[in-house]
């Protein structure tokens, strides 16, 4: 029986007692829904239903019994489902990529079936007329659990003494080793070797808008329409299609303006897949919105790492080699479809990135634990790699008694050395480290700040200056995911259409998450076609309308989506001029479009308004030549292919003051010089940098998901999980170097993650610079007052 025939839970049936594996059908045709007193005639006119999830209170436990009897009697409840019932409609997934050799993960279901592997994993779903009624019924579910040993510590997970998924053999999801050779020799001949272990606390995105989904299955047409708070509509269209058994062309995903994502909403979430499956099962629209407490428990976390890094250098400050050992914890599953191995893999690829050493060795272990899953979050891997690199670089400079800016100047890759292959194997097209460093030092008046710092130390005021040079992955090619078998598009598409009124409609596959993408596209289209921005309408985030594309992730909106818009705009301009030349009986080469009208290219004399050309094309094509057909809708796609990634670079600096009595850190000022290629909209670019810096400051000073020894999230609310607010953010001064990429006509690189990538390392170095006269250092993020006081020996 095919899935379109819906053998289970069609109108007139329900799961009654809900014990694991048991389904009890009810009579078909009209039925009385429990607690409502209203008949539904086979749901031919289905109303919106809401789902709430019964989640595991344990970090690791076997589900012995689920009793839905009382929940089913609760007011407004439509149905209650366990994992086995949902699995009849939604197949499990495995989050692996072929190019991450050896990565492994167990199958994951939309709703857990036999056991829960972290606190907050959904084990049952209640569907009701309202969210409130669904939540009330969740409280009435009776469950028996067999608690299992929980693995919470990374080192314990690596030891394999207790294996979370016995069928996998150990707790290692992914491991990688990279060695250029000659590393031991470089360390043996070094005049100085410095070593330090850094710890990074897991944290999460805290989006302004929580995750949300409204799925609406139409049984008559076997179609599914999903309104989804997602960054990648076409990716999710494919996922819903494959795991729900609906043809891809029958699935439409709509993602309108999303209230912040930061990578949080680019993944497949089990509760969202369950919501879509429930819509199919019940043949009615079903909605789920994660509340703030659920968001902390189930939104992906990120950046739980413990890393030991060594640096070898000469007495003149020349870096000879880096040696890295990274241990990272990802929760009980590798997240689908991008995997949880990418973050650690990025750390290996990027550590040491700005510098010209040639010897590099790295070891990575990514392990399963019984905490919430981790995966890609803004600047994936970059904050760890930059903080490691810049922290150990500062430590080397301190040991050599060399100014940290001078140490960097001696080691940054020269600006004329490109194209350049880094020891990890990644290739750089063209970067500008030295230009950025020079501009930063001038912008912040570095020499004066150093003098002021020395003067204040004499008065027991401890200020610190921290630098962090960086590289950033943007505009990724298919080498990021497609090569590993993931159906995640590296291209984006844009369709531009001249309307009869002279308006230009832009439809692009990149989504708007608050980063200003639609404004950028309007700018590019207006400039390319020759119309004013008020004549441009932009549509994004709708698989039923826009061309196929990757969406929003990895700082790719302007560089890839913008290039597609530019190419389509130039093609539309050419096609409009073809029509104009026929109507005006003039050579196409003599015409142009300016200010919403056809003009003479040399004299700028207005020949015809665009609305008149539109009128003729759409309503009077009979006056055009018989052998000519106007084409006023064009589509173009773009994907970078010459380089795996279009790297950007930059450098940041932070000025802080540390109160050595309380351990509090006051951020005084922050500077960011970034080379993101062609800057299309300076205001948007600067605010992207500032927003990224704010998130980086959160990671450095405030944010951490804290778990108890039993695996309970201790601070999963806005009262206890601290995020920086306006009072904590200093003035952030931005400046730019522009080195356009030659891979595109637009020349734009990405900028959305740069601030987040560099800020934690800059803040860390500034704090340690302030503490240096006192012989103290901090290396565990976030740098809370407690940790600073402990480093100072003020508390045990």
pLDDT band at 45 (very low <50, low <70, confident <90, very high): low
User: Would strands 665-675 and 536-540 be described as parallel, antiparallel, or unpaired?
Assistant: unpaired
In 472-484, which positions are buried (b, 16+ CB within 10 angstroms) versus exposed (e)?
Answer: bbbbbbbbbbbeb
Whether residue 747 is predicted with pLDDT greater than 50 in this model: the reply is: yes
CATH number for the region 381-476+644-791 comes to 3.30.365.10
Instruction: Give the sign of the dihedral formed by CA 148, CA 376, CA 436, CA 673.
Output: negative
Q: How far apart, in whole angstroms, are the C-alpha atoms of residue 78 and residue 122? A: 18
Structure-token pair, residue 320: 């000879």
Q: How far apart, in whole angstroms, are the C-alpha atoms of residue 507 and residue 496? A: 6
β-bridge partners, 540:
508
Nearest to 453 by CA among 444, 464, 468, 441: 464
Number of helices (H), then strands (E), belonging to the chain: the values are 19, 33
Going from the C-alpha of 399 to that of each of 471, 665, 777, the distances in angstroms are 25, 24, 13
Of the chain, the end-to-end C-alpha distance in Å amounts to 67
Structure-token pair, residue 573: 């301009």
Whether residue 28 is predicted with pLDDT greater than 50 in this model: the reply is: no
792 three-state secondary structure: coil
Burial of 324 (0-12, 13-18, 19+ CB in 10 A): buried
**C-alpha 412, offset from chain centre:** 28
Angle subtended at Cα 358 by Cα 355 and Cα 361, rounded to the nearest 5 degrees: 100
Q: How far apart, in whole angstroms, are the C-alpha atoms of residue 37 and residue 344? A: 55
**C-alpha 184, offset from chain centre:** 37
3-37+491-638 and 40-148+206-298: identical CATH topology: no
pLDDT digits (tens, 9 = 90+) for 468-499: 999 999 999 988 899 999 999 999 999 999 99
pLDDT digits (tens, 9 = 90+) for 413-442: 999 999 999 999 999 999 999 999 999 999
Please give the radius of gyration of the chain, using alpha carbons only, rounded to the nearest integer: 29
pLDDT digits (tens, 9 = 90+) for 203-245: 999 999 999 999 999 999 999 999 999 999 999 999 999 999 9
Q: How far apart, in whole angstroms, are the C-alpha atoms of residue 76 and residue 58? A: 28
Phi-psi map region of 208: left, alpha, beta (phi>0 left; psi -120 to 50 alpha) = alpha
Q: How many CB atoms lie within 10 A of CB 457?
A: 15
Find where tokens 């392990």 sit: 367
DSSP secondary structure, 26-87, as one string: --SSSEEPTTT--EESTTSSPPPEEEEEEE-SSSSEEEEEEE-HHHHTSTTEEEEEEHHHHH
217 three-state secondary structure: strand
How much is the average pLDDT of 254-273? 96
Whether residue 271 is predicted with pLDDT greater than 60 in this model: the reply is: yes
40-148+206-298 fold: Aldehyde Oxidoreductase; domain 3 (3.90.1170)
Nearest to 397 by CA among 407, 387, 388: 407
**C-alpha 464, offset from chain centre:** 31
**C-alpha 502, offset from chain centre:** 37
Instruction: Give the sign of the dihedral formed by CA 452, CA 457, CA 461, CA 463.
Output: positive
DSSP secondary structure, 427-473, as one string: EES---HHHHHHHHHHHHTHHHHHHHHHHHHTTT-EEEEEEEEEEE-
Top-level class of domain 3-37+491-638 = alpha beta
Containing 600, the helix (H) or strand (E) segment is strand 597-600
Q: How many CB atoms lie within 10 A of CB 640?
A: 24
- Asked if 271 contacts 109 with a C-beta cutoff of 8 angstroms, the reply is no
Q: How far apart, in whole angstroms, are the C-alpha atoms of residue 732 and residue 578? A: 48
Please write down the HEC assignment for all residues of 308-344. Answer: EEEEEECCCCCEEEEEEEEEEECCCCCCCCCCCCHHH
User: Would strands 536-540 and 591-594 be described as parallel, antiparallel, or unpaired?
Assistant: unpaired
Residues across the chain: 796
Helices (H), ranges, 595-681: 610-619
pLDDT band at 113 (very low <50, low <70, confident <90, very high): very high
pLDDT digits (tens, 9 = 90+) for 443-472: 999 999 999 999 999 999 999 999 999 999
Nearest to 301 by CA among 261, 258, 271, 331: 331
Q: What is the pTM of this model?
A: 0.93
Whether residue 24 is predicted with pLDDT greater than 70 in this model: the reply is: no
Whether residue 15 is predicted with pLDDT greater than 90 in this model: the reply is: no
pLDDT, the chain, mean: 94
Structure-token pair, residue 726: 């306006």
Domain chopping of the chain, boundaries = 3-37+491-638, 40-148+206-298, 381-476+644-791
Phi-psi map region of 408: left, alpha, beta (phi>0 left; psi -120 to 50 alpha) = alpha
Whether residue 44 is predicted with pLDDT greater than 70 in this model: the reply is: no
pLDDT digits (tens, 9 = 90+) for 62-82: 999 999 999 999 999 999 999
């Amino acid at each position: 029986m095919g899935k379109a025939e819906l053998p289970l839970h069609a109108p007139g049936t329900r799961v009654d007692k809900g014990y694991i594996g048991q389904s009890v059908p009810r009579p078909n045709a009209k039925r009385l829904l429990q607690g409502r007193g209203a008949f539904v005639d086979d749901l031919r006119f289905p109303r919106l239903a809401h789902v709430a999830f019964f989640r595991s209170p344990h970090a690791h436990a076997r589900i012995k019994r689920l009793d839905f009897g009382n929940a089913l009697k609760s007011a407004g409840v439509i149905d209650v489902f366990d994992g086995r019932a949902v699995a009849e409609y939604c197949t499990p997934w495995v989050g692996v990529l072929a190019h991450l050799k050896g990565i492994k993960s167990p199958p994951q279901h939309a709703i857990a079936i036999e056991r829960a592997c972290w606190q907050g994993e959904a084990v049952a779903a209640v569907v009701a007329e309202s969210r409130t009624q669904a939540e009330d019924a969740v409280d009435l579910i009776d469950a028996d659990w067999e608690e299992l040993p929980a693995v919470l510590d990374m080192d314990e997970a690596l030891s394999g003494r207790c294996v979370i998924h016995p069928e996998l053999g150990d707790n290692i999801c992914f491991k990688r080793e990279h060695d250029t050779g000659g590393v031991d020799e470089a360390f043996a001949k070094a005049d100085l070797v410095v070593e330090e272990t850094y710890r990074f606390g897991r944290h999460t995105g805290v989006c302004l808008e929580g995750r949300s989904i409204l799925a609406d299955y139409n049984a008559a047409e076997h179609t599914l329409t999903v309104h989804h708070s997602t960054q990648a509509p076409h990716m999710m269209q494919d996922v819903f299609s494959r795991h729900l058994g609906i043809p891809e062309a029958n699935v439409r995903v709509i993602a309108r303006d999303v209230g912040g994502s930061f990578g949080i909403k680019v993944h497949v979430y089990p509760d969202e897949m369950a919501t879509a499956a429930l819509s199919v099962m019940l043949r009615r629209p079903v909605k789920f919105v994660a509340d703030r407490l659920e968001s902390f428990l189930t939104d992906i976390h990120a950046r739980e790492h413990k890393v030991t890094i060594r640096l070898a250098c000469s007495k003149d400050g020349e870096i000879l080699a880096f040696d890295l050992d990274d241990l990272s914890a990802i929760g009980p599953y590798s997240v689908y479809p991008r995997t949880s191995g990418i973050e650690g893999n990025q750390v290996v690829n990027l550590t040491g990135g700005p510098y010209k050493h040639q010897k590099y060795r790295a070891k990575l272990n990514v392990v399963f634990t019984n905490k919430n899953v981790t995966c890609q979050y803004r600047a994936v891997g970059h904050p760890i790699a930059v903080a490691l690199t810049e922290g150990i670089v500062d430590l080397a400079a301190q040991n050599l008694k060399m100014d940290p800016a001078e140490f960097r100047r001696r080691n940054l890759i020269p600006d004329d050395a490109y194209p350049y292959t880094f020891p990890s194997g990644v290739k750089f097209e063209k970067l500008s480290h030295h230009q950025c460093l020079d501009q930063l030092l001038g912008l912040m008046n570095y020499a004066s700040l150093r003098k002021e710092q020395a003067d204040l130390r004499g008065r027991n005021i401890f200020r610190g200056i921290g630098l962090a040079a960086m590289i950033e992955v943007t505009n990724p090619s298919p080498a990021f995911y497609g090569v590993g078998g993931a159906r995640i598009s590296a291209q984006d598409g844009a369709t531009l259409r001249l309307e009869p009124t002279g308006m230009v409609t832009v439809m692009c596959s990149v989504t708007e998450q608050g980063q200003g993408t639609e404004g950028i596209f309007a700018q590019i289209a207006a400039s390319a076609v020759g119309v004013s921005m008020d004549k441009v309408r932009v549509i994004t985030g709708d698989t039923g309308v826009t061309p196929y594309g990757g969406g929003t992730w990895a700082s790719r909106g302007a560089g890839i989506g913008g290039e597609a818009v530019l190419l389509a705009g130039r093609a539309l301009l050419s096609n409009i001029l073809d029509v104009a030349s026929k109507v005006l009986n003039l050579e196409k080469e003599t015409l142009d479009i300016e200010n919403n009208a056809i003009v003479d290219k040399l004299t700028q004399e207005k020949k015809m308004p665009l609305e008149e050309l539109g009128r003729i094309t759409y309503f009077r094509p009979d006056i055009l030549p018989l052998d000519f057909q106007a084409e006023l809708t064009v589509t173009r796609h773009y994907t970078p292919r010459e380089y795996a990634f279009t790297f950007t670079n930059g450098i940041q600096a932070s000025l802080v003051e540390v109160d050595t009595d309380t351990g509090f850190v006051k951020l005084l000022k922050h500077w960011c010089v970034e080379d993101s290629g062609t800057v299309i909209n300076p205001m948007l670019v600067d605010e992207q940098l500032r927003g990224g810096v704010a998130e980086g400051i959160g990671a450095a000073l405030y944010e951490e998901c804290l778990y108890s020894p039993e695996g309970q999230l201790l601070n999963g609310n806005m009262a206890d999980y601290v995020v920086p607010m306006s009072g904590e953010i200093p003035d952030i001064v931005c400046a730019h170097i522009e080195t356009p990429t030659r891979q595109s006509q637009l020349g734009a690189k990405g900028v959305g993650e740069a601030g987040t990538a560099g800020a934690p390392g800059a803040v860390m170095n500034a704090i340690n610079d302030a503490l240096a006269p006192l012989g103290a250092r901090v290396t565990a993020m976030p740098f809370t007052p407690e940790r600073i006081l402990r480093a100072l020996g003020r508390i045990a």
